[in-house]
Amino acid sequence: MIISSGAVQAAVLLAEGTDPEHTQKPILPHIPELVFGIIVFGFFMFMVKKYVVPKLEQAHAERTAAIEGGMEQAQEAQKQAEAAKAQYEAQLSSARDEAAKIREDARSQGAQIVADMREQANAEATRIVDSAKKQTEADRQAAAVSLRSDVGRLSTDLASKIVGESLHDEARQKGIVDRFLAELESGALKPTKIGTEAGN
């Protein structure tokens, strides 16, 4: 046999001596408790709406602003970084161009300097060779004059000894020596060995 819960409750109430139809149902609250609960709930809602909700909304707005501001700052920082990168790349490109120009200028200046130095060296070499030629010619002429004088003096001394008279008259000596050397240079006078003539 199945007994329902409503029957069990009615039996309990009969046992206590109360009438089930006149008792209050346990699900429905008392009216004063209901009114007091509604007033407290309303007061609680009023306090939450007046003090808690504005602070929550302010915190939410601040957090939203901070996030949006952070995003804006991040975007601004990214733009600045991109601008700085572009400026750096432009400066780097400009520096590379300038370095290439400086290298090219240095090459051309180096080539010009080498050409100038070569030209100066050639001019100096030509000057030295010309000076050496002039010095050699001057030395040769001085040697010829000295040799002519020495040969003339020796030959007049030798002729004086052979002839037995003094041939130291300068004009006469100069004429004899010049004539002798002119004949020797022209080939008209051929030197002969004394021993060879004596043998003939």
Q: Which of 141, 177, 145, 182 is nearest to 159 (CA)?
A: 177
Whether residue 16 lies inside any domain: the answer is no
Residue 86: per-residue pLDDT: 92
Distance, CA of 17 to chain centre: 111
Q: How far apart are CA 39 and CA 45, in angstroms?
A: 10
Query: Domain total for the chain?
Result: 1
Whether residue 178 lies inside any domain: the answer is yes
Residue 82: per-residue pLDDT: 92
Query: Tell me, what DSSP letter sits at residue 21?
Result: T
The domain of 94 spans: 29-162+169-185
Total Cβ atoms within 10 A of residue 74: 10
Whether residue 11 lies inside any domain: the answer is no
Whether residue 34 lies inside any domain: the answer is yes
Distance, CA of 194 to chain centre: 88
For 150-195, what is each residue's pLDDT tens digit? 777 777 777 666 765 555 666 666 777 777 777 777 776 665 665 5
Whether residue 88 lies inside any domain: the answer is yes
Residue 193: per-residue pLDDT: 60
Residue 24: per-residue pLDDT: 58
Whether residue 52 lies inside any domain: the answer is yes
Whether residue 4 lies inside any domain: the answer is no
Residue 1: per-residue pLDDT: 46
Residue 199's pLDDT band, with cuts at 50, 70 and 90, is very low
Residue 56: per-residue pLDDT: 92
For 11-23, what is each residue's pLDDT tens digit? 655 555 555 455 5
For 31-84, what is each residue's pLDDT tens digit? 888 899 999 999 999 999 999 999 999 999 999 988 888 888 888 888 999 999
- Under 8 Å between Cβ of 17 and 11: no
Rounded mean pLDDT, 116-136: 89
Residue 38: per-residue pLDDT: 93
Whether residue 200 lies inside any domain: the answer is no
More confident residue, 145 or 84: 84
Residue 200's pLDDT band, with cuts at 50, 70 and 90, is very low
